Structure 1
Amino acid sequence: MVDRPNDTTLSIFISNSPAPAPWNANGPLSIDSDGATIHLSGDTSEQLRAIKQAARKLSSLTRSASLQGDWNTDQSFAFCTAFNDARQTYKVQVAEQDVQLKNALAAHAFTVELINDTPQNVSPEALAQRAAKWLSGLSPEYISYTTITGEELLEAGWNGVYEVGRGSDRPPVLLDLDYNPTGNPDAPVNTVLVGKGITFDSGGYSIKPSEGMLAMKCDMGGAATVTGALGLAIMNGLAERTRLILCCAENLISGHAYKLGDIITYKNGLTVEVVNTDAEGRLVLADGLLKASEYQPKRIIDAATLTGAAHVAVGNHYNAIFSRDTALRALAMDVAEQVNEPAWPLPLEAFHQHNCPSPYADTANSRPQKGGGAGGASNAAGFLSRFVPDEGKGWLHVDLAAAFNSSATDTQPAGATAQGIRMLAKLLN
């Protein structure tokens, strides 16, 4: 193997031919005096996975790479996002200027940086402000926004966000952002994106163990993902009016925190008994979905790092999707395949609304057992479906099982992956 200092820019080639001797002919990688070559075989999914695996291996040789030869946008994106670290200190030079690639990498970098930042830096207010600032910078003439903060939430009736966030000294926030490129203030809203923005999740009084709490800065991954997706869609020329709602809170313990046995009354009159303060994401998203419904959009799409059950079901390479709108679910699956962001549908039926019963309220927010019991991801989606109109027509829920890795994998650096931003952006455009 060629010995290269860590600060040397390594040329990277791709080839559809097997690796030459003495390299393993079935292996994905060879290195010579010109640089490294990634050898591709199989279908597109297998090729992109091989590129990511090779990028991870090459990241141990150098922090700087230059892509040479005929790389397409998806191949370049796969390499650039895998050849990095949690602090985004690696650099990749791309031979030709590809606007689609440039936009995707910019949205990816924003999303990853926001999720990987410390929970001290990313308070609920900071999350809302950073999302609004970034999007406003992309399209200042078409974006306006408002925030509802702290006690204002209680006064406005957004009780889910308020209750989850009231235990923290840093107040909860509901961001409502309007992207309207039509110039018509009465233009209909095509899509509302809703993101779970729990900037740190201790679990509340249903407290997590330390090892389960360490990565909980990523619990605002839904908010970061929908923001990154909207930004990418804007950069790619989004022409439809779109709104973004972020439900931002810290789930902490204090004398003012919400407790097990509390009952939350939502704007639609539904009452919810809290049987697990660590099932807080659905409580804030319920407000976001109700707010989204007020705009009577064609579609509502929410994204959240919502359940460990989804991660158990699909692993860390897939996001889980839920919808009772079969056409929208099929479209989301098709788009996910087109942009090479693996996703998989999990069950959601009307009966899932009733799988968390309460003798004291219309429903509980979970089941009082570890992980919410069997079918926990579907039951969480069923809970959310109570807060969308038309029996879920036009609503898509994305449980971001692939949003974050506590340590590096064979295809991704440690930290945020931003998986989902390209799928959601393409659904918008």
Structure 2
Amino acid sequence: MADPETVLLAAGRGGIPISVVKARDWEAFRRQLAPDMRRWCESNGFKSQPGRLLALPGAQGLLRQVVVGDAEEPDAFALARLCRSLPEGIYALSGGLSKPELFALGWCLDAYRYDRYRKASSVGPRLVCPGGVDRAEVLRAAAASGLVRDLVNTPASDMGPDELETAALALAKAHKAKIAVISGKALERGFPMIHAVGKASPRLPRLIDISWGPSRAPRLTLVGKGVCFDTGGLDIKPASGMALMKKDMGGAAHVLGLAQMIMSAGLKLRLRVLIPAVENAIAGNAFRPGDVLTSRKGLTVEIGNTDAEGRLILADALALADEDAPDLLIDMATLTGAARVALGPDLPAFFTDDDWLADEMLRQGLAVNDPVWRLPLWRPYGRLFESSVADLNNAGESGFAGAITAALFLRRFVQKAKAYAHFDVFAWTPAALPGRPRGGEAQAMRTLFEVIRSRLAG
């Protein structure tokens, strides 16, 4: 990926000005242009139409100024498309936007390229950080998003449990955090469902445990689903269902990205990150439909579907997290297709019993252009994953309310945490949007950072 520091330059230097002009302000803006520039606008039929761009030429054919009509769209990253429309050079926003920090962030996010397997592309147009914008904050968010995107975009051949552990080790080392890893048969005693899901793969399952910050500070625990590839197990997916399963470790990528933001910002809290990392493969020792597993918490789980494996590994990790009674416990997972059917690819679903937390999630999501939407933990739907032979069934027989029943299943493994939220994210942009190139995507991460900063660290 392009280093955000090379894309967003420090303030105080010159650049080709970008003027964002609302349609109602066009006449006043046009009158202050030099006569030749007014004629250029007229000959191009430019009247500051929303989202339309016009390059104003200077001496010797050089670019003098860029004028763009205010997009007037609900997406605050709408003008980030300039990053792909303009020629290489250095540009500076000359005003016209109420949230220049989101313009700068959108520019950085749109500049992202995944070039691991091909010749690296050029940096492209660069932006001088607008006045009054905290460049370090923008770079922190852009770098964390880049980390998530890189991890999700990497194919499973190069992003298995080993490589996910390597990424976690690098993050821990960079921020002087402690890290411990339990893998293979050692999982059987304390984390039997993580072991059961991952044991059929030659790449050993593991539980990654990162801790950082003073022990007496408010405690935050993040749990991320790390299914590095999901065949569906013996309830095998069709080929179309496996096409994007490299992204099934998107929850793990998200908590690593969020942890990077928290540690680089130096928030005053005690952070713990738990990642159950597995590959749901097929072999003679794979767990089967109808098996009954005993979880770390002691609850027994009948396997209704081996393709509902993410909630199994999360359940063991959540049980461990809950034993510490953290002030806030959050899990993130690419968990259900039902959430995508309900909300589409752009809007992550979240579930919580804490109304203040839910309201703050919604508010901050809109403020930082990282929206989320609350779905209910509707307790009566617990009947949909009842079992006649065990405490729970991991899938149940009904296809109704799949995102809600998955969240309720996980909720059964959390009792002591003072507040808990589950995020069901897609971690992918199917078609490029401003600030969101096609491919792996960080969702709800910036929203969570702001909520965590206000609730626990500020």
The alignment's TM-score, normalised by the length of structure 1, stands at: 0.87
Is 2:381 the partner of 1:358?
no
> Residue 16 of structure 1 corresponds to which residue in structure 2?
21
Is 2:178 the partner of 1:160?
no
> Residue 263 of structure 2 corresponds to which residue in structure 1?
234
Q: Is residue 160–residue 287 contact of structure 1 (8 Å, CA) maintained in 2?
A: yes
Give the distance between the partners of 2:90 and 2:392, measured in 1 at CA: 54
Q: Structure 1 residue 90: deviation in Å? A: 5.7
> Residue 242 of structure 2 corresponds to which residue in structure 1?
213
The 5 Å alignment of 1:6-405 reads 13-18=18-23, 21=42, 22-23=45-46, 25-32=48-55, 33=57, 34=63, 36-42=66-72, 46=74, 48-52=76-80, 54-55=81-82, 59=84, 66-70=91-95, 72-87=100-115, 89=121, 91=123, 92-96=125-129, 98-137=135-174, 139-140=175-176, 143-155=177-189, 157-180=190-213, 182=214, 186-187=215-216, 190-368=219-397, 373-390=399-416, 393-401=418-426, 403-405=427-429
Q: Structure 1 residue 249: deviation in Å? A: 0.5
Give the distance between the partners of 1:292 and 1:16, measured in 2 at CA: 51
Q: Structure 1 residue 337: deviation in Å? A: 2.0
Q: Is residue 69–residue 95 contact of structure 1 (8 Å, CA) maintained in 2?
A: no
Q: Structure 1 residue 242: deviation in Å? A: 1.0
CA distance 1:257–1:47, shift in 2 (3 Å): closer
1:357-376 per-residue CA deviation (whole Å, 9 max, x = no partner) reads 2111111111346xxx1211
Which runs of 5 or more residues in structure 2 are unaligned? 1-14, 27-40, 58-62, 454-458
> Residue 4 of structure 1 corresponds to which residue in structure 2?
none
Q: Is residue 21–residue 67 contact of structure 2 (8 Å, CA) maintained in 1?
A: no
Q: Is residue 320–residue 400 contact of structure 1 (8 Å, CA) maintained in 2?
A: yes
Q: Is residue 189–residue 296 contact of structure 1 (8 Å, CA) maintained in 2?
A: no
SS of 2:202 mapped into structure 1: coil
Q: Structure 1 residue 149: deviation in Å? A: 0.4
Give the distance between the partners of 2:301 and 2:89, measured in 1 at CA: 52
SS of 1:378 mapped into structure 2: helix
Aligned-pair Cα RMSD in Å = 2.4
SS of 2:377 mapped into structure 1: coil
SS of 2:74 mapped into structure 1: helix
More displaced 10-residue stretch of structure 1: 292-301 or 353-362: 353-362
SS of 1:48 mapped into structure 2: coil
Q: Structure 1 residue 409: deviation in Å? A: 4.5
1:344-386 per-residue CA deviation (whole Å, 9 max, x = no partner) reads 11111322333212111111111346xxx12110110000000
CA distance 1:84–1:66, shift in 2 (3 Å): farther
Q: Match for 1:381: what amino acid? A: A
Identity, % of aligned positions: 32
> Residue 5 of structure 1 corresponds to which residue in structure 2?
none
Q: Structure 1 residue 227: deviation in Å? A: 0.9
Give the distance between the partners of 1:99 and 1:352, measured in 2 at CA: 45
Give the distance between the partners of 1:242 and 1:361, measured in 2 at CA: 34
Give the distance between the partners of 1:395 and 1:119, measured in 2 at CA: 30
Q: Structure 1 residue 131: deviation in Å? A: 1.8
Which runs of 5 or more residues in structure 1 are unaligned? 1-9
Q: Match for 2:271: what amino acid? A: T
Give the distance between the partners of 2:322 and 2:363, measured in 1 at CA: 25
SS of 1:355 mapped into structure 2: helix
> Residue 30 of structure 2 corresponds to which residue in structure 1?
none
CA distance 1:334–1:68, shift in 2 (3 Å): closer
SS of 1:278 mapped into structure 2: coil
1:64-118 per-residue CA deviation (whole Å, 9 max, x = no partner) reads 7745434722111112212444438463523137111111111111111111112
Q: Match for 1:397: what amino acid? A: H
Q: Structure 1 residue 411: deviation in Å? A: 5.7
Give the distance between the partners of 2:155 and 2:319, measured in 1 at CA: 30
CA distance 1:242–1:386, shift in 2 (3 Å): same
The alignment's TM-score, normalised by the length of structure 2, stands at: 0.82
How many residue pairs align between the two structures?
402
Q: Match for 2:276: what amino acid? A: C
More displaced 10-residue stretch of structure 1: 81-90 or 325-334: 81-90
More displaced 10-residue stretch of structure 1: 308-317 or 60-69: 60-69
CA distance 1:66–1:275, shift in 2 (3 Å): farther
Give the distance between the partners of 2:49 and 2:341, measured in 1 at CA: 32
Q: Structure 1 residue 393: deviation in Å? A: 5.0
